[in-house]
C-alpha cells in the first residue's frame, strides 16, 4: 500500500519531475487542454484517484475543468455533463441511421405487409361469419315463435 502524502511533503525534485511529466502529457494530448500545474502524484493525498496520476482537462464543449486519471486521457475530452449529452446525441444519431438503412426499411416493409395480410384474412373471415350469423338469424326468425 502506498502511503499518501500532503502536497507540501513532495520534494522540489519530485515536483519538477511531475511538471516535466505534465508537459509531456500536454504535448502528447494537445487537444485535451490539460491545465498547467494540475498534475497530482499517485500518492498525493489531494488526489481523488489514489494510485494513479491525475490532471485537470478542459472540456472541449463547454470549457469546464474536470480532473481525470492520466490513463484516461486517450478517451476523455469532456466534462461529465457534456459527455452524457454527447453520448445521448450519438445514440439517437445511430438509432436514426439504423432505422433508415435500406435493410431496416425493407424489413419494416415486409413486417407491415405481413400485418396487413393478417388483417385482411381476419376481416374477410369476420365478414363471412357475420353473413352466416345474419343468415341464421333470418332462418331462426322464421322458425322460432317468440
Ligand atoms: Zn462540458
Separation of CA 55 and ligand 1 centre (Å): 16
Give the three cell numbers for residue 80. Answer: 461529465
Separation of CA 113 and ligand 1 centre (Å): 46
Q: Identify the bridge partners of residue 44 per DSSP, sorted by sequence position.
A: 5
21-34 tens-digit pLDDT = 999 999 999 999 99
Residues 134 and 86 in one domain: no
Separation of CA 86 and ligand 1 centre (Å): 10
42-90 tens-digit pLDDT = 999 999 999 999 999 999 999 999 999 999 999 999 999 999 999 999 8
**Torsion angle of alpha carbons 62, 66, 69, 73, nearest 10°?**
10
Contacts of 18 (CB under 8 A, 6+ apart): 10, 39, 41, 53
DSSP state, residue 52: S
Into how many domains does the chain fold? 2
Separation of CA 84 and ligand 1 centre (Å): 9
Residues 70 and 89 in one domain: yes
Amino acid at each position: 500500500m502506498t502511503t499518501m502524502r500532503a502536497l507540501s511533503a513532495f520534494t522540489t525534485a519530485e515536483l519538477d519531475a511531475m511538471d516535466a511529466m505534465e508537459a509531456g502529457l500536454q504535448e502528447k494530448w494537445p487537444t485535451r487542454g490539460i491545465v498547467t500545474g494540475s498534475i497530482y502524484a499517485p500518492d498525493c493525498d489531494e488526489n481523488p484517484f489514489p494510485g494513479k496520476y491525475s490532471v485537470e482537462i478542459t472540456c472541449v464543449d463547454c470549457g469546464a475543468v474536470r480532473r481525470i486519471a492520466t490513463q484516461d486521457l486517450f478517451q476523455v475530452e469532456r466534462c461529465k455533463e457534456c459527455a452524457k449529452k454527447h453520448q445521448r446525441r450519438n445514440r439517437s444519431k445511430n438509432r436514426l441511421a439504423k432505422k433508415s438503412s435500406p435493410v431496416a426499411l425493407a424489413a419494416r416493409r415486409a413486417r407491415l405487409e405481413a400485418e396487413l395480410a393478417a388483417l385482411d384474412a381476419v376481416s374477410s373471415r369476420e365478414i363471412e361469419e357475420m353473413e352466416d350469423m345474419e343468415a341464421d338469424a333470418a332462418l331462426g326468425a322464421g322458425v322460432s315463435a317468440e
